[in-house]
Amino acid sequence: MTHHGSALQGFGLGLRPQHYERILAGDCAVDWFEILSENYLVPGGRPLYYLDRIAERFPLAMHGVSLSIGSSDPLNRSYLRDLARLARRVQPRLISDHLCWTGVDGLNLHDLMPLPQTDEAVHHVARRIGQVQDALGRQFVLENVSSYVGFTHSRLAEWQFLSAIVAESGCALLLDINNVYVNSVNHGFDALDYLDGLPRHSVRQIHLAGHSQDAAGTGLLIDTHDHPVCDAVWALYAAALERFGAVPSMIERDDRIPPLDDLLAELDQARDIASRVTTVSV
C-alpha cells in the first residue's frame, strides 16, 4: 500500500524461497525484490505467509511466465484475475511478463517461444496488451526473450518489433540485457543497434543474467539463467545505462541458485557500473 504508484529504484534480486529467512532477518542490502507471480497464486500456505512479510519491508515487482501474450488462444481470464488479486495484496511497483507465446490450443509448451516479427504480430500483441492493461488497471511491462531460431517471414528487426508494440499498446519494457546479448550472437546483429533502436523512456527495469554455450557445440548461446553475468553482458549493461539512465536493475538467477552473498556480490558489480556510468545517484 505504501509503495503503490511509485516506480522501482535502485538494485534488486529475484526472491527465492531459500533466502526468505535471511531476508526477514534484515540482513540483505537490496532495494527491492522481484517475485515469480506463479509461485504465489495459490491462496494460503507458506509462500504467501513469507511474501506478506517481505512486502511490508520491500518494494516488489511481479514477474510472470504464463501470460502467453503472443498466442492465438484467448487470454486466460482466470489467470489474469489471479494476477490482479495478487497485485491488490502485495501492491507491486510493476507487473511484467515475456514477449512470447507458451502454447496454443490449450497446450502449454513450458517454453518461451519467439514470435514472427511482423506488423500483423505487432497488432495482435498490442491488442492483447490492451486487454491485460484493462484487466490489471495499470501499464503492463514486457520483457524481451532470447531465441535460437528466427522466422523467415520476419520483416522487422527485434528492436523495431518491440518499439512498434510499445508505441501501439502504451506498455513499458523490461530489458533483459543477457537476452539481447544472446540474440545478437545467435542471430548476428549488433547489440548496440538494438539498444539504440528502443524508445528511450520506456525501459522500467533491467534483468542481468548468465547463459550457457550449447552443449551440442552448435555455437548457439542458451539463456539458462544459471551462470554468473559474463563480461560482455556487463559491458552491454553499461551501454544500456548510458542510453536509458538509472534504470532499476537486478540479477536474475533461475537455476543453481547460489548463496545470497554471491548474488549480493554480483549486485554490487551492477552498482559499481551504474555509479560509473550514470550521473544521477542510483
Q: Which stretch binds Fe ion (CB under 5 A): 103-111, 119-127, 236-244, 247-255?
A: 247-255
Q: Which stretch binds Fe ion (CB under 5 A): 14-22, 81-89, 133-141, 249-257?
A: 249-257
Q: Which stretch binds Fe ion (CB under 5 A): 64-72, 130-138, 154-162, 252-260?
A: 252-260
Give the whole-angstrom CA distance, residue 6 versus residue 53. 20
- State in angstroms the smallest separation of the CB of 175 from Fe ion: 9
Cβ atoms of residues 90 and 51 within 8 Å: yes
CA angle centred on 114, ends 125 and 187, rounded to 5°: 130
Q: Closer CB to Fe ion, residue 130 or residue 228?
A: 228
Give the whole-angstrom CA distance, residue 229 versus residue 211. 8
223 binds Fe ion (CB under 5 A): no
- State in angstroms the smallest separation of the CB of 217 from Fe ion: 25
Burial state string for 27-60 with b = 16 or more CB within 10 A and e = fewer than 16 = ebebbbbbbbbbebbeeeeebbebbeebbeebbb
Question: Site for Fe ion (CB under 5 A): how many residues?
Answer: 3
Q: Closer CB to Fe ion, residue 71 or residue 146?
A: 146
Cβ atoms of residues 33 and 58 within 8 Å: yes
In the list 19, 93, 128, 207, the residue contacting Fe ion (rule: CB under 5 A) is 207
Q: Which stretch binds Fe ion (CB under 5 A): 9-17, 27-35, 128-136, 246-254?
A: 246-254
Q: Closer CB to Fe ion, residue 71 or residue 96?
A: 96
Q: Closer CB to Fe ion, residue 163 or residue 249?
A: 249
In the list 34, 176, 223, 266, the residue contacting Fe ion (rule: CB under 5 A) is 176
Q: Closer CB to Fe ion, residue 31 or residue 252?
A: 252
Return all residues near 220 (Cβ < 8 A) that are at least 6 apart: 148, 185, 186, 213, 214
DSSP 121: H
Q: Closer CB to Fe ion, residue 48 or residue 198?
A: 198
Return all residues near 210 (Cβ < 8 A) that are at least 6 apart: 178, 224, 225, 226, 227, 228, 229, 230, 233, 253
- State in angstroms the smallest separation of the CB of 64 from Fe ion: 12
CA 84 to chain centroid, in Å, comes to: 18
Enumerate binding residues for Fe ion (CB under 5 A). 176, 207, 252
